[in-house]
Structure 1
Amino acid sequence: MDAGRKSELETKVYAGERLTRADGEALLGCDDLAWLGRLAHHRRTELNGDRVLFAADPDPARELAGESPLAALLPYGKDDNHGQRLDHLIRLRDRQDETGGLVVLIPVLHQPESGDHTETAAPAESLKTFAVARLLVDNVPHVKSLWGNHGLSVAQLTLNFGADDLDGSVTDGDPTRDDLLELIWDAGFRPVERDARYEVVHEHEPAPSLAGRRSEPQKVWA
């Protein structure tokens, strides 16, 4: 993407203008992840500040099955094309304009073991997808990252690419509540526990300063 097109998109994002499908296509085709992350982070900060929500009583299977009336899914993988992804996002945005019923958008990565014969996408593609979802679908309050679907390391990175909500199962071998608090603080955000209807249960302290976070070894989330 040339500098002129980047400048045009930056201007629209920082002015709060709605992006077009063509804008989304340009963003998905851009390989400058740092720049794309900055734009998505700006939009998510406008909507949600420094808060990252996580479920006090998570039930990701319900949302993955599409049973939650508050949630919309964005399936994606290595073999789909950007046009399919963008068409899906535009349809969701149009539906939200009409009904206003959605609270959260959930990008869901195809997994090879799922049996759908779709190869998984690379982490960079996941980060692009989260960023463009946040930038394009401006009328859904939250974007969720499922750590069981993307892995904890990528899920933590998505918090800087538009996601403001973490969810997943809490069973043996999965992150505990304390693990999630540390993961969110390490990413530089304030953890906020919520219920299934996105009502706040408990708001925790903000993240330590960057200098404070760097003073201790950071946990690597496998």
Structure 2
Amino acid sequence: MALSETRKAELTEKITARERLTRQDGEDLYASDDLAWLGAMAHGVRTEKNGEVVYFNVNRHLNLTNVCTASCAYCSFQRKPGQKDAYTMRVEEAVETALGMKDDGLTELHIVNGLHPTLPWKYYPRVLRELKAALPGVALKAFTATEVHFFETISGLTADAILDELIDAGLESLTGGGAEIFDWDVRKQVVDHDTHWEDWSRIHRLAHQKGLKTPATMLYGHIEEPRHRVDHVLRLRELQDETGGFQVFIPLRFHNDNNRLSHLQMAQPADVLKTFAVSRLMLDNFPHVKVFWVMHGLSTSQLALNYGADDMDGSVVEYKITHDADNYGTPDKLTRDDLLDLIRDAGFTPKERNTRYEVIRDYDGPVPLAERRAEPQAVWA
């Protein structure tokens, strides 16, 4: 059902006054087909929080193993032991791979993995310790809450003790993954592991208590409905009220190749932009919203910067978790210069950040359109 003009006026007044939105407000925002209005509302909040700035960092993704005990319906990355393309890095191999990524001012390694059935728990802090020794200036953002929960199972330790050991080994932030959709009716159909909202939130709460700042994600565009997306962000908003430990929210678009949900159509650009806008409006206590260009494509990612997003992730060289899933056509690599061009072409000023969202380098903003078009543009047949 389309949103009435009366209801739209009520929501406009509420958003403009920066009143906290309710569950019903969120569901009504999703019911609107007025993308320009949604974008304007979300962009106002985004600009109030972060100005005309888009953050990015220079990072690389390192996946230590794709061997996994789970078989989640949306996943194309996991392999079973002995299966073709299954791999597990030795500690020395992981360090060598990471050192090969060191160029171009690298500031962050993003590490997520399968739930390997036989790797011992001690492998993981040892890998972090060796990576930190090899790359002392690089922040280690590693492991989902799902992995930490799995570490509890294989080690017999509590998440409290596990996080202490990982932090001592060099962990600077958890990753935001393992969230998918928190609503149980959806989650039980797409997730094949035991980490649900209760454990995901418990582990991030512990991380925040230990001084870590973490991201949060939402995998959308599969079997969930808009009301499930609203429920998801409301749970995160409530936890953020409690801990203040989340830095950024990252909507992740489901990709439909080579998995059990391949019959589903991926979320189209209008739905993508609506999801970013509603998320920005609902998550009034999250400082940042990130668009992960690998999962959304470059053009849609640029548009999302006008629908609530203020971060464009990093100069990823290879992101196997998505690129194992699809033939979607996103590039494997964006350089720093590529990101600067994308951000400026979208009309924003780039700022390079580290994992803690501290600005480490300022850049000039976009060249005014009048200057760019001062000379006639060549047209070739």
Shorter-chain TM-score above 0.5: yes
Task: Give the partner amino acid of 2:364.
Answer: E
Name the stretch that deviates more: 72-81 or 148-157.
72-81
What residue is the counterpart of 1:199 in the other structure?
Answer: 358
What residue is the counterpart of 1:35 in the other structure?
Answer: 37
2:14 equivalent to 1:12: yes
Query: Is the alpha carbon distance of 1:165 and 1:215 closer, same or farther for their aligned partners in structure 2, counting shifts above 3 Å?
Result: farther
2:187 equivalent to 1:185: no
**Within 1, Cα distance between the matches of 2:53 and 2:16?**
20
2:291 equivalent to 1:145: yes
2:322 equivalent to 1:170: no
What residue is the counterpart of 2:58 in the other structure?
Answer: 56
What residue is the counterpart of 1:154 in the other structure?
Answer: 300
Query: Is the alpha carbon distance of 1:156 and 1:217 closer, same or farther for their aligned partners in structure 2, counting shifts above 3 Å?
Result: farther
**Within 1, Cα distance between the matches of 2:49 and 2:40?**
14
What residue is the counterpart of 2:162 in the other structure?
Answer: none
Task: Give the partner amino acid of 1:212.
Answer: E
* TM-score, length-scaled by structure 1: 0.90
**Within 1, Cα distance between the matches of 2:298 and 2:40?**
21
Q: Name the SS for the 2:228 alignment partner.
A: helix
Name the stretch that deviates more: 132-141 or 204-213.
204-213
Q: Name the SS for the 2:317 alignment partner.
A: coil
5 Å-filtered alignment, 1:72-151, equals 72-113=216-257, 115-117=259-261, 118-151=264-297
Query: Is the alpha carbon distance of 1:116 and 1:210 closer, same or farther for their aligned partners in structure 2, counting shifts above 3 Å?
Result: farther
Task: Give the partner amino acid of 1:83.
Answer: R
Q: Deviations over 1:55-99 (max 9, x none)?
A: 123545647963325100111014310111110010000000001
Query: Is the alpha carbon distance of 1:97 and 1:213 closer, same or farther for their aligned partners in structure 2, counting shifts above 3 Å?
Result: farther
Task: Give the partner amino acid of 2:4.
Answer: D
Task: Give the partner amino acid of 1:23.
Answer: D
Task: Report the structure number with the largest CA radius of gyration.
Answer: 2
**Within 2, Cα distance between the matches of 1:217 and 1:110?**
42
Task: Give the partner amino acid of 2:336.
Answer: R
Task: Give the partner amino acid of 1:47.
Answer: K
Q: CA RMSD in A?
A: 2.3
**Within 1, Cα distance between the matches of 2:143 and 2:274?**
24
Following TM superposition, by how much is the alpha carbon of 1:207 offset from its aligned partner in structure 2, in angstroms? 2.0
Query: Is the alpha carbon distance of 1:120 and 1:65 closer, same or farther for their aligned partners in structure 2, counting shifts above 3 Å?
Result: farther
**Within 2, Cα distance between the matches of 1:85 and 1:77?**
10
**Within 2, Cα distance between the matches of 1:89 and 1:105?**
9
Following TM superposition, by how much is the alpha carbon of 1:176 offset from its aligned partner in structure 2, in angstroms? 1.6
Name the stretch that deviates more: 76-85 or 64-73.
64-73
Percent identity of the aligned residues?
50
* TM-score, length-scaled by structure 2: 0.54
Q: Name the SS for the 1:112 alignment partner.
A: coil
Q: 1:104–1:142: 8 Å Cα contact kept in structure 2?
A: yes
Following TM superposition, by how much is the alpha carbon of 1:213 offset from its aligned partner in structure 2, in angstroms? 4.7
Query: Is the alpha carbon distance of 1:116 and 1:41 closer, same or farther for their aligned partners in structure 2, counting shifts above 3 Å?
Result: farther
Say how many residue pairs are matched.
218
Q: Which runs of 5+ in 2 are unaligned?
A: 62-109, 113-140, 145-173, 176-212, 319-330
Q: Deviations over 1:96-135 (max 9, x none)?
A: 0001000000001110126251541111101000000000
Q: 1:143–1:163: 8 Å Cα contact kept in structure 2?
A: yes
Task: Give the partner amino acid of 1:202.
Answer: R
